[in-house]
Chains A and B, each alone.
Chain A
Amino acid sequence: MAVQAGGDTGLDVAADLPPASTHARRQPFTGWRRVALGLVLPALLVTVWSVAAATGLLSTRLLPAPADIVTSARDFVFAERRAVLPGVVPFRGAAAEHVTASLGRWGVAYAIAVAVGLPLGMGLGLSRWVSATVDPLFQALRSIPITAWLPIALIWFGIGEGAARYLVFVGAVSPIVIATADATARVPRQLVDTARMLGTPRRHLARRVYLPAALPGIVTGLRLGLTLGWTSLIVGELTGANRGLGAMMVAAREVGRLDQIIVGMVAFALIGFAADFLLRSAARPFVRWADG
């Protein structure tokens, strides 16, 4: 063992340098640079698309020009709302109505998926009894595609609201359960041992150790569930609801309005992106410790 001369007690905090990052990945871009780089590809796509539409290279019957889609989007959001007959799905000025209907369905179903998925996932990760009894059935059920649930959802819950909520739930709950179970099972035994040796009662371990330690993995599951639930929503709304982004897109297809369909797709993409961004931002203070 090397012997160090001098009277240093080793208790000078400044002498102890923090460890370097162990990640091989380079530092990610942040701030305006990240935003600007993220916009490069969409801008390029829209430019090429506009040129192709303007030069006649691309038939507007197959894909309307971006300018037409912008006009439709403006109508969808800002135009004066007109009265429509019962059963008719409105488009002009109906953005708020459709988005509210979609968000409402999705919000309720996602909240139920979180309320069911988190405890179930933690149970699967923590208990071999729960894992042995529930996991086979869960794995079998989650292999069924969302669209295969549609007929039975229509019979159980009727056309519209109930079926759409059920499909969002089915889409969202699987990733939440799987990520939570996996993250919980991976919590280092050392942390649990330490908590017990510090006097933490067993009944507090799930809340005080497993949940915070597994949180980064759980947040990944919540994000995946959020996106999958959101994309499942459209399947439910394609089946006879007369409010919601999906319902609007079905109505647009029936009258051959490609521009309106694309407006619906863009709205889906923007809302999904924004919801994921909000969830990530809300979770960041709680999972900051796990960053590189």
Chain B
Amino acid sequence: MSGPALCASRLGKRYGPLEVFAGVDLRVELGEVVAVLGPSGCGKSTLLRVLAGLEPPDAGEVTETGEPVRGPSPERPMVVQGATLFPWLDLRANLEWGPRALGRRDAAAVTDRLLAATGLAGSDHLLPRELSGGMRQRAAIAQVVANEPPVLLLDEPFGALDAQTRLRMQEWLIGFLAERRTATVLVTHDVDEALLLGHRLVRLSHRPARVVEELEVDLPPHRSRATLSDHRFVALKARVLEQVLDA
């Protein structure tokens, strides 16, 4: 097996007469975060569902380290906006679900480490509805990374959070992904988020979505809230915003 962690070539999807996206190429390497930016309703979420193997493409192919993707897998989980936690289970049981499904004996130890890494230690007995929005999103990400996937797909994971919580969560996620060298596709419509988290930015057009631009995000690797006022960030943001608004 070889090739990029995740690769999509000439990917297309349609629902009846509605063409959602067409000819989409995407490559993500280990340790890389690719931010996919596009207008609302352009098919970003559908693209991510196809990459996750939750829906088959109508054209093209998705491969993971060279192997064709044929369905959902713990190697390639997706986290969506809102709750994906199992509401009837407490936080610990939610986090242990993945390792237990794979028959791992160290599920409890993995969960302890994740609870500490996500700042949720001490909340392990709480039900999802007893957690705040920020805690729930951290827990949802922790739940899928418990299986240590090489690829992670994030669909506007912080879209429902207020600006302050979102920024704190973004800073946390930058460190969390860097530590694990997870190949990540982050779908967002927020330019700040795309530039803060992404190493590369892929911009999609209106439906049927196509890749209209790929951009290396030339910013220091250790990003934080301070990056938002860095002159390079500000210049890059202005440029991207201009292109988005002109599109």
Contacts and interface: CB of A to CB of B under 8 A. Distances in A.
A199 B102 contact: yes
A157 B38 CA distance: 67
Interface stretch (B59-67, B69-77, B200-208): B69-77
Nearest to B163: A2
Nearest to B149: A197
A190 B48 CA distance: 13
Interface stretch (A14-22, A95-103, A113-121, A142-150): A14-22
Interface in A17-34: 17-19
A212 B146 CA distance: 22
B78 interface: yes
Interface stretch (A5-13, A49-57, A175-183, A273-281): A5-13
B129 A3 contact: no
A33 to B, nearest CB: 26
Contacts of A201: 101
B87 A8 contact: no
A10 B144 contact: no
B163 A1 contact: yes
Contacts of B56: none
Q: Which of A191, A194, A195 has the largest number of chain B CB atoms within 10 A?
A: A194
Interface in A166-219: 190-191, 193-201, 209, 212-213, 215
A133 interface: no
B172 A9 contact: yes
Q: Which of A13, A191, A197, A213 has the largest number of chain B CB atoms within 10 A?
A: A197
Given A12-B119, A199-B101, A289-B127, A2 B164 contact: yes
Contacts of B121: 13
Given A1-B167, A18-B131, A199-B147, A11 B118 contact: yes
A290 B132 contact: no
Interface string B106-135: 000000000000111111000111111111
Contacts, number: 118
Contact of B87 (A2, A3, A197, A290): A290
Interface residues of A, number: 34
Contacts of A16: 131-132, 134-135
B102 A9 contact: no
B159 to A, nearest CB: 13
Nearest to B90: A289
Interface string A253-292: 0000000000000000000000000000000001111100
Contacts of A9: 119, 168, 171-172
Interface string B51-63: 0101000000000
Interface in B136-186: 143-144, 146-147, 163-169, 171-172
B122 A197 contact: no
A175 B171 CA distance: 50
Contact of B167 (A4, A193, A196): A4
Contact of A213 (B88, B147, B165): B88
Contacts of A289: 87-88, 127-129
Given A1-B166, A13-B120, A191-B86, A18 B132 contact: yes
B4 interface: no
Contact of A1 (B127, B147, B192): B192
Interface in A120-155: none
Contacts of B80: 190
Contacts of A196: 54, 71-72
A289 B143 CA distance: 19
B78 A19 contact: no
Contacts of B123: 13
Q: Which of A10, A13, A200, A201 has the largest number of chain B CB atoms within 10 A?
A: A10
A3 B229 contact: yes
B225 interface: yes
Contacts of B166: 1
10 contacts: A10-B134, A18-B129, A194-B144, A197-B52, A197-B76, A199-B102, A200-B97, A209-B86, A288-B127, A289-B88
Interface of A: 1-4, 8-13, 16-19, 190-191, 193-201, 209, 212-213, 215, 286-290
Counting from the closest, the 4 A-B pairs by CB-CB distance are A11-B119, A10-B168, A16-B132, A199-B74
Given A2-B164, A3-B228, A190-B82, 5 more contacts: A2-B163, A11-B172, A19-B132, A197-B52, A213-B87
